[in-house]
């Protein structure tokens, strides 16, 4: 079997229609050559990160500072977000992964763990209790698979929040919504004044998913998705879930989202632009959108941006303090790396990843890094209103639901995104959505 | 004759080796790999497990497969029906040697110089409902939701036509220029008008060019990927999820390499069948020369 799989896998990689195959060949050099010479004196680890401001610069500086400590060398290469997601998977499958594997935890990390491609860090983390205590607790969950730690939290915590254009609210004389009824009233108010109520980059699909995530929680509480995550039969057809699908389509019917939202994509930040150019009054988006809007329109963020949690729904079971989003990003260590490479990677996690300088840099960029020391530093930051809001939201949440497309397996996530897109464009109704998704359980 | 060619047999076989080797390594072996993978279950990182006909059953029972197949067939038919007449007319037009036609020809070929990805990004920006061309110029007629559920598919086909018509025009230009002038002179003496000449001489003489161009269009439309992927990613919903995209999404987004391989096998069979069929259409009468005096 191993013989067969070796041959066909190679055959397939060549077959990859020039897509992934080329990229694997293009980047396969590092870890194998290093492994061959591993075990000698100067340890060296490889790392792939995501390109783009501001995190690329922060990680570059962080690694450079670590390399001067004499605890080994980390070599970092950057890739664009979507390209990285494909590349890392193919590389891990081919046994050519970098020592430090960046990811989002949840279903994909579980896939790596099941295939024995990433290191079980449980005992090692236990041995570094003081270091572990510097993080807040909520992000560790999505890096833990079946009670074992495979991913160490990194970067910022990114709950999904409501953003508002205060200027437009003043213009129509309305106040910020706190309940779903407020939301529906605002939709008709803004529409009657010719302003689009909500901006949404529906073409990106995960953007629409954020709405369902919150509606599920507010209507039925965290159990509704927990049942789905546990694979309980028929759980996408839960009465609370069906109600959420219907509310989404009611909102679409009421003109809640800007015209043409199904062809707007988030990767160009066009959805954020709609909010700060005053074409739309409200937007549900990840915490990272603050930094994006700040670099695009600093004046707007300073004077006209308001933010808040997702509104409550009367009669709903979910705690209005619950949040959804990305608890953190994660670093895992490749099981295929040599002992020397793994040792350097671990040294970097402890001594390099969250130095004071790095924490300061994350805060300066408008993020809340997942360490406790962030709290005091935030208070003196230029963005202290937003950062304090995010910090309190993330640390006070009774339940921090990881984004569904990260939590589920890739197969389920793809079906989910495809069906959500059809639900929002009204190609299918609530019942059809439920039965399509139940088929994936 | 037979004896004269014998000494060349061995060197010829050697000469063909490098390209044969490339062909086998990069076409035949992967093809075999895809067929094998279609009978397995593989998520791209774990072990490859034999799955019998499981992936085939899964794909054949999935309504998405048939929807994608239908969209691909539509793409094929519409692409051919729109691009062929336009390319023939344009090709015939720019085959003339007048200077203004040469200038226009250069303009027509511009889309051919652009990469599909760049083109797709540019069109996506132009079609943006809020920041695109229509909104920018305040022309209500242009402010449609071009890449929305209703219009996305026809719009994508139009962009594909815009990109590929220049290429086929080039083929037809070459074809028309090869038609002997004497045929037209004879027709003029017989009193045939320009339309008659086009119908009775140009079109029949272009028979083999039409076959070549049609093969490229039909087989090519099976594999359209880059442009659609960048413009719509198969959306909204699944409005533009053609077979090649369906294969990619199943394989590299949903990590079901077995199911993706089944679609790949579909595509190979369809493509080969199509190419063979079109060649047959042209007839196999090698003696029916198109050139005068032969």
Class of CATH domain A2-157+327-372: alpha beta
Tens of pLDDT, residues B132-143 = 888 788 887 777
Positions of chain B with pLDDT lower than 70, given as ranges: 1-10, 282-294
A416 contact B CB<8A: no
- List the single residue in A92, A93, A270 with the smallest CB-CB distance to B131: A270
Query: Which residues of A are less than 8 Å from B40 in CB distance?
Result: 8
**3-state secondary structure string, A122-138?**
HHHHHCCHHHHCCECCH
Which residue in this structure is represented by tokens 């979910």?
Answer: A318
Please name the residue of chain B whose CA is at the shortest distance from the CA of residue A96. B45
3-state secondary structure of A309: coil
Residues contacting B83, CB < 8 A, separation 6+: B161, B164, B165, B168, B217
Beta bridge partners of A164: A282, A306
Cα of B163 to nearest chain A Cα, Å: 21
- The pLDDT value recorded for residue A14 is 36
The rounded distance, in Å, linking the Cα atoms of A363 and A366 is: 5
- Domain over B51-281 is classified CATH 3.30.390.30: no
**C-alpha torsion angle, residues B175, B181, B183, B184 (rounded to 10):** 100
3-state secondary structure of A51: coil
Residue B130: asked if its preceding bond is cis (omega within 30°), the reply is no
Question: For testing the chain B interface, which of A9, A88, A263 should be mutated: the one with the most B CBs within 10 Å?
Answer: A263
Please name the residue of chain A whose CA is at the shortest distance from the CA of residue B26. A14
Cβ-Cβ pairs closer than 8 A, A with B, add up to 137
Q: Which helix (H) or strand (E) holds A212?
A: helix A206-220
Output DSSP code: residue A40: S
The rounded distance, in Å, linking the Cα atoms of B104 and B89 is: 14
Task: Tell me if B145 and A17 make a contact (CB, 8 A cut-off).
Answer: no
Task: Tell me if B130 and A259 make a contact (CB, 8 A cut-off).
Answer: yes
Q: Which helix (H) or strand (E) holds A378?
A: helix A374-378
Cβ-contact B169, B92 below 8 angstroms: no
Cα of A7 to nearest chain B Cα, Å: 9
* ipTM of this complex prediction, to 2 decimal places: 0.81
Query: Which residues of A are less than 8 Å from B252 in CB distance?
Result: 19-20, 86, 89
A418 contact B CB<8A: yes
The rounded distance, in Å, linking the Cα atoms of A200 and A215 is: 16
A83 contact B CB<8A: no
The rounded distance, in Å, linking the Cα atoms of B274 and B263 is: 16
Cβ-contact A351, A65 below 8 angstroms: no
Task: Tell me if B130 and A1 make a contact (CB, 8 A cut-off).
Answer: no
The CATH superfamily label for domain A159-325+403-438 reads Periplasmic binding protein-like II (3.40.190.10)
Task: Tell me if B47 and A273 make a contact (CB, 8 A cut-off).
Answer: no
Residue A54: asked if its preceding bond is cis (omega within 30°), the reply is yes
Tens of pLDDT, residues B197-229 = 999 899 999 988 999 999 999 988 988 899 999
Between the CA of residue A186 and those of A98, A117, A324, B258, what are the distances in Å?
49, 50, 23, 48
A205 contact B CB<8A: yes
CA B192 to centroid of chain Cα atoms: 35
The rounded distance, in Å, linking the Cα atoms of A114 and B46 is: 8
- The pLDDT value recorded for residue B261 is 95
Residues contacting A412, CB < 8 A, separation 6+: A107, A440
Question: For testing the chain A interface, which of B224, B236, B241 should be mutated: the one with the most A CBs within 10 Å?
Answer: B236
The domain locations on chain A are 2-157+327-372, 159-325+403-438
Q: Which helix (H) or strand (E) holds A144?
A: strand A144-145
- List the single residue in B45, B237, B256 with the smallest CB-CB distance to A92: B45
- The pLDDT value recorded for residue B283 is 61
Task: Tell me if A92 and B248 make a contact (CB, 8 A cut-off).
Answer: no
Output DSSP code: residue A383: T
3-state secondary structure of A304: coil
If phi > 0 it is left, if psi is from -120 to 50 it is alpha, else beta; for residue B138 that is: left
pLDDT profile of chain A (441 residues), mean per 10: 37 38 38 38 84 86 93 92 84 90 91 92 94 89 91 93 95 94 95 95 92 95 92 93 96 94 86 93 93 88 93 92 93 94 94 92 89 89 90 88 90 92 93 94 87
A32 contact B CB<8A: no
The rounded distance, in Å, linking the Cα atoms of B170 and B106 is: 11
The rounded distance, in Å, linking the Cα atoms of A155 and A355 is: 12
- Global pTM value: 0.82
A296 contact B CB<8A: no
């Amino acid at each position: 079997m191993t013989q067969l799989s070796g041959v066909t896998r190679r055959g397939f990689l060549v077959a990859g229609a020039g897509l992934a195959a080329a990229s694997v060949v293009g980047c396969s050099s590092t870890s194998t050559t290093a492994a061959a010479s591993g075990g000698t004196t100067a340890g060296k680890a490889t790392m792939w990160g995501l390109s783009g401001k501001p995190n690329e610069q922060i990680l570059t500086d962080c690694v450079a500072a670590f390399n001067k400590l004499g605890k080994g060398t980390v070599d970092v290469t950057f890739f664009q977000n979507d390209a990285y997601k494909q590349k890392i998977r193919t590389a891990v499958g081919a046994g050519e992964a970098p020592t430090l594997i960046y990811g989002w935890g949840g279903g994909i990390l579980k896939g790596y763990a099941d295939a024995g491609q990433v290191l079980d860090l449980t005992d090692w983390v236990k041995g570094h209790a003081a270091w572990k205590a510097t993080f807040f607790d909520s992000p560790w969950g999505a890096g833990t698979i079946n009670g074992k730690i495979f991913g160490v939290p990194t970067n910022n915590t990114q709950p999904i929040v409501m953003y508002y254009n205060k200027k437009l609210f003043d213009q129509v004389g309305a106040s910020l919504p706190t309940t779903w009824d407020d939301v529906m009233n605002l939709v008709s108010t803004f529409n009657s004044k010719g302003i689009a109520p909500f901006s949404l980059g529906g073409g990106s699909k995960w953007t629409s998913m954020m709405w369902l995530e919150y509606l599920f929680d507010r209507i039925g509480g965290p159990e509704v998705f927990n049942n789905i995550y546990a694979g309980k039969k028929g759980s996408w057809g839960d009465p609370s879930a069906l109600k959420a699908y219907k509310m989404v389509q009611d909102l679409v019917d009421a003109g809640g989202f800007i015209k043409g939202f199904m062809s707007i994509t988030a990767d160009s930040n066009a959805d954020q632009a709609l909010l700060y150019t005053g074409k739309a009054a409200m937007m549900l988006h990840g915490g990272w959108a603050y930094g994006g809007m700040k670099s695009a329109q600093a004046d707007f963020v300073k004077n006209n941006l308001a933010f808040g949690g997702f509104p409550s729904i009367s009669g709903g079971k979910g705690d209005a303090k619950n949040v959804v989003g990305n608890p953190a990003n994660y670093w895992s260590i490749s099981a295929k790396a040599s002992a020397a490479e793994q040792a350097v990677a671990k040294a970097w996690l402890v001594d390099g990843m969250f130095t004071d300088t790095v924490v300061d840099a994350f805060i300066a960029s408008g993020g809340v890094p997942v360490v406790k020391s962030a709290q005091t530093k935030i208070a003196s930051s230029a963005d202290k209103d937003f950062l304090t809001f995010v910090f309190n939201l993330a640390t006070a949440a009774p339940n921090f639901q990881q984004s569904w497309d990260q939590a589920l397996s890739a197969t389920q996530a793809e079906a989910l995104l495809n069906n959500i897109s059809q639900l929002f464009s009204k190609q299918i109704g609530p019942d059809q959505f439920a039965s399509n998704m139940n088929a994936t359980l | 004759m037979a004896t004269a060619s014998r000494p060349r047999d061995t060197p010829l076989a050697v000469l063909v080796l490098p390209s044969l080797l490339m062909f086998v390594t990069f076409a035949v072996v992967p093809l075999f790999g895809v067929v094998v993978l279609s009978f397995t279950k593989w998520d791209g990182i774990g072990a490859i497990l034999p799955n019998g006909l499981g992936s085939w059953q899964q794909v054949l029972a999935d309504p998405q497969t048939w929807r994608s197949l239908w969209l691909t067939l539509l793409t094929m038919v519409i692409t051919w029906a729109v691009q062929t007449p336009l390319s023939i007319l344009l090709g015939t037009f720019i085959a003339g040697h007048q200077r203004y036609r040469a200038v226009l020809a250069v303009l027509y070929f511009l889309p051919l110089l652009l990469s599909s990805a760049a083109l797709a990004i540019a069109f996506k920006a132009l079609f943006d409902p809020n920041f695109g061309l229509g909104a920018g110029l305040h022309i209500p007629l242009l402010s449609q939701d071009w890449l929305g559920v209703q219009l996305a598919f026809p719009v994508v086909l139009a962009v594909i036509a815009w990109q590929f018509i220049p290429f086929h025009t080039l083929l037809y230009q070459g074809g028309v220029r090869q038609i002997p002038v004497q045929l037209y002179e004879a027709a003029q003496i017989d009193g045939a008008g320009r339309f008659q000449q086009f119908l009775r001489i140009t079109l029949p003489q272009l028979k083999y060019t039409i076959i070549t161009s049609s093969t490229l269009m039909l087989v090519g439309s099976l594999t359209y990927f880059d442009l659609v992927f960048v413009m719509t990613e198969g959306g909204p919903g699944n409005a533009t999820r053609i077979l090649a995209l369906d294969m990619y999404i199943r394989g590299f987004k949903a990590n079901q390499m077995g199911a993706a391989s089944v679609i790949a096998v579909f595509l190979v069979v369809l493509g080969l069948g199509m190419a063979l069929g079109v060649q047959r259409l042209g007839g196999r009468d090698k003696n029916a020369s198109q050139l005068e005096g032969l």
